[in-house]
Amino acid sequence: MPDAQTRSRQRLVQVAQGHEQADLVIRNARVVLVQTGEVVQADVAVAEGRFAGLGSYRGHEILDAQGQYLVPGFMDAHVHIESSLLTPRRFAQAVTAHGTTSVVCEPHEIVNVLGVTGLEWMLAAGRESGLRVYASCPSSVPASPFESGAHRLNAQDIQDGLAREGVLGLAEVMNWPGVLGGDAQVWSILAAARGKRVDGHGSGLPDVNAYASAGIHSDHEAVTEDEARARLRAGLWLMVRDGSGARNLEALAPVLREKPRRAMLVTDDTDARELVQDGHLDRVLRNAVRCGLDPLYALALVTMHPAEYWGLHDLGLIAPGYRADFALVRDLQDWRATHTHVADARPTRAMAAPEGGGVDLGHGWRELFLGVPETSPVMGVQAEQIVTLKLPSSTAPTVKLASYARHGQGARVGTARAAGIGLTRGALGLSVQHDAHHLLIAGADDDDIRFCAQTIADMGGGAAVVLRGEVLARLPLPVAGLMSDLEPAEVVRQQQEVEEAARSLGCTLPNALITLSFLGLTVIPSLKVTPDGLFDVEDQKFVHGQQ
């Protein structure tokens, strides 16, 4: 007796031959075949959650496309769901409206906070989200030896994570100095992932050949044409990032216009406001076409290419036997979806929030000194970039940054001065600080910095803007101090209130929360601040420690 999967395939074959009716027939569509670069007019039959064929078919259900383009569902090959500030089901609610049907999430944000429990929770929540959610197993927890989150993953943790259903490979290997320098811990993790897909993260990478030789397969940190070409020539898959945190598509468009075979478009980090108001990969496709990319090639960068990279051999195409994940779009310039279909998607349901991950600043945190040495360099913060600049100590005007440890490991704070934020009064803070996710406050006044920290601690995590002891706006993020399970529109409303309040105090950053969230990531140049002090990424040392 054939098993259920075999019976399903056998029925699909019967439908393809016209011997049985399809479950669904999509009629009057212009079908986009990214595998050949063609657009054809045909009926498309769906049965057993898969495409059965293109031609003329009968079906139990008819979907009239009314001349729209039928495209494979979009796939984001590298995304941090936590950066949206939304739980997986709320993230899915936001992105499926824009044609996205699959994502490969990199959950090292919640894993830094909750350990392996965070990975398990994200996978479980993804399965109940209505979106096809895969994951890569975080490789760098913490991101570098200079960060101290709530948890550390060793090679055995990685091996166990890679064995979980839905985990497709090893996530971004950030500690490239450890890769190139033969660090035993880094190499034990690479050994645990041998034979799997291995994502790279080579920001500031001095030797692409050496990095690729370690068994790295991709990188999303190229920011110049030369960096992009170097990665392609080394055989790496080039992931071109266009998200709220960093936008590299325009700079790298000349490379993509040459249609490299091993390339993808990804978002990496996109906040709730941009997802709801501007879109997800549909927004990226609009930008790609505006930058001169051929529309069908651009579509392949978010469908066929990521599916091939991740070994998802039945996704990414409209073709017989492939899963029937698709979207209808009116044209191949605007890409806005009028209908999105995720085959066999489970009904969505709320997942109970995992335990832990709040804000514990430790005994005596209020008494910690917030001074910054006069000779300390100034961190230059850049709008819509995660790379910072190293500016001279004489740079003005500046605002103070305070990074408080929030994981109950004792009271610690690191401080710095930053230019480019624009804040002249009050304080703005958040408990999302890549990757260890401590509590970062930018403020013009020490009392407001402390009051802002207390406000966020009382919420169990989130973002807040304060002035002279008054809370002007707040955004609670009760899930690990990173995410909210409220409706996306409500999270957007709260996010806008926080950012508008910050602007009223002089903040000039267009995406203040997501830009500030990267000011502690010690694998991205040039200066970063952690609870242990101000860190120089190029020199791989602390400029000054806790004050």
pLDDT of residue 312: 98
The whole-angstrom separation of Cα 160 and Cα 387 is: 33
Q: What pLDDT, in 10s, does the model give residues 370-400?
A: 999 999 999 999 998 889 999 999 999 999 9
Which amino acid is located at 22 in the chain? A
What percent of the chain shows pLDDT beyond 90? 94
Is the confidence at residue 547, as pLDDT, over 60?
no
pLDDT value at residue 187: 97
- Residue-wise pLDDT tens digits, 140-153: 998 888 998 889 99
pLDDT of residue 279: 97
φ, ψ of residue 84 in degrees (nearest 5): -75, -15
Residues 6 or more apart whose CB falls under 8 angstroms from that of 192 comprise: 155, 156, 158, 159, 162
What mean pLDDT is predicted for residues 179-203?
A: 96
Least confident residue range of 1-5, 326-330, 338-342, 514-518: 1-5
Dihedral, 170, 388, 241, 77 alpha carbons, nearest 10 = 20
- At 75 the pLDDT is 98
Q: Give the CATH architecture of domain 73-310.
A: Alpha-Beta Barrel (3.20)
* pLDDT tens digits, one per residue of 416-454: 999 999 999 999 999 999 999 999 999 999 999 999 999
Question: Quick check: 256 pLDDT over 60?
Answer: yes
By the 10 Å C-beta count (0-12 exposed, 13-18 middle, 19+ buried), 536 is classed as middle
For residue 306, the surrounding DSSP H or E stretch is helix 304-309
Region 245-252: what's the mean pLDDT? Answer: 93
pLDDT of residue 427: 98
Q: What is residue 546's predicted lDDT score, i.e. its pLDDT?
A: 65
* Average per-residue pLDDT for the chain: 96
Residue 13 has pLDDT above 80, yes or no: yes
pLDDT score of 246:
86
d(CA 190, CA 171): 11
SS3 category, 64: strand
pLDDT recorded at residue 110: 97
**SS3 state at 260:** coil
269-289 pLDDT tens trace: 999 999 999 999 999 999 999
Provide the H-helix boundaries in 357-460: 446-459
Q: Provide the 3-class DSSP secondary structure of residue 50.
A: strand
Question: Which residues have a Cβ under 8 Å from the Cβ of 317 and sit 6 or more positions away?
Answer: 33, 34, 35, 72, 303, 304, 307
3-state percent helix, strand, coil for the chain, nearest multiple of 5: 30, 25, 45
Tokens linked to 23: 């479950």
Would you say 482 and 85 are in contact if contact means Cβ atoms under 8 Å apart? yes
In the DSSP assignment, the letter for residue 437 is T
Render pLDDT for 124-138 as a digit per residue (tens, 0 to 9).
999 999 999 999 999
Q: Which fold has domain 4-67?
A: Urease, subunit C; domain 1 (2.30.40)
Distance (Å, rounded) from C-alpha 529 to C-alpha 541? Answer: 12
Pairing relationship of beta strands 59-64 and 69-72 according to DSSP bridges: unpaired
Q: Which stretches of 406-543 are DSSP H helices? A: 446-459, 488-504, 512-516
| 336 has pLDDT over 70 | yes
Examine the pLDDT at 10 and tell me if it is beyond 90.
yes
pLDDT, residue 148, reads 86
In terms of Cβ atoms closer than 10 Å to its own Cβ (0-12, 13-18, 19+), residue 222 is buried
> Apex CA 510: angle with CA 506 and CA 511, to 5°?
110
Burial of 209 (0-12, 13-18, 19+ CB in 10 A): exposed
Q: What does the domain layout of the chain look like in residue ranges?
A: 4-67, 73-310, 365-545
Average pLDDT (81-97) is: 97
